[in-house]
Amino acid sequence: MADLLVLNAGSSSIKFAVFGDDLGERVSGLTSEIGGASVLGMAGRKEACRLSDHRAALDAILSALEREGFPASRLSAAAHRVVHGGKRLTEAQRLTPDVRAEIAACSPLAPLHNPHTLAAIDRLTELVPDLPQFASFDTSFHATNPEVATRYAIPRMAETQGIRRYGFHGLSYASLVRRLPEVSGQPLPSRLLAFHLGNGASLCAILNGKSVATTMGYSPLDGLTMGTRSGGIDANAVLRLVEENGLERTKAILNHESGLLGLSGGTSDMRKLMLDPSADSAFAIEHFCYWSLRHAGSLIAAMEGLDAIAFTGGIGENALGVRARILRGLEWLGVRMNPDANHAGKARLHAESSNVGVWVVPAEEERMIAADALRLMEAV
């Protein structure tokens, strides 16, 4: 049986997994702290290594996979997560020179991600030139948003080309749409509010299986309070920060020093915040939940109602208190949580008396990427 390698390159990491053509995961791992004190973890083991860049990280991954019994010669294809596909790349694609060029053209929109994905793509092309490669895009699930949801109220001019709402976490939402009927044993709800809550966090209004609104915008900075990102902030406040601190310092403040980290004054980890009795930590958690609810109201209005809620992501799947606080804030809609189910980490969280279904769906972005690639391979 031929195997499919899935690569998910971040700013300083590469997640990887090998899937069979039955979408069963064979092995998975992570290289982290690329460019620093790097670590490669796989099959329950971790080893320190020196990885100067993403190309070196890919070399290390392939070597580790070969030692584990998954040599590159056995691979049928490789598939990549691409954070930003822009306006043109709205479906999973087989990688060609034209598709690669379009991903590169989107690099200014995702400077911490697209260039590193391209580095992995190019290195794999050098090492295994005949291996088919595919790309799935985090923005593509939101291509169904109407223009009234994606266009900012700014004039059409050369300086504003490409400045629009794109939305992110699309692979997570696509996976959720695919998996929820399997988890619930019921058809996909018509009006579904999805919470992808993790270090990066967003909400998505999913109407009849299609995204019609989401909280992230031109970049993953907008919307909810996040681990280290500010979420929504007035553009004039950003301009003032630039005037007082300069552009690069402002980028660092908003992307890496804000959110839960900035509010708590110490940590972006929701698990640690929930164990910390300090007032700052309590306020950071409440800020996260409050703005999740504020945005939830907006997205429910975009769907003109609500049939079900689904939580996914590290916080969404594991932070019982955060889920309970958010669901309590939606009781005016007829949401009724079963506290015992929430505490036990069940997939179904709603009580029998609830007018709205509430579910927890594990995030499976890598499996979604594999499914996209296998579908394209079968279509040839």
Residues identified as active-site: 138
Residue given tokens 């505490």 in the structure block:
343
Indicate the SS3 state at residue 5: strand
CB-based contact 21:9 (threshold 8 Å): no
Of residues 325, 309, 222, the one with CA closest to residue 273? 325
User: What DSSP line would sit under 264-300, residue for residue?
Assistant: HTS---HHHHHH--SHHHHHHHHHHHHHHHHHHHHHH
Indicate the SS3 state at residue 139: coil
Burial 105-136 (b: 16+ CB within 10 A, else e): ebbebbeebbbbbbbbbebbeeebeeebbbbb
**CA gyration radius for the chain?**
21
Q: At what angle do helices 247-256 and 235-245 cross, to 10 degrees?
A: 130
What is d(CA 286, CA 294) in angstroms, rounded to the nearest whole number? 12
Residues sharing a CB contact under 8 Å with residue 15, sequence separation 6 or more, in sequence order: 7, 8, 28, 29, 30, 366
Of residues 311, 357, 303, 354, the one with CA closest to residue 332? 354
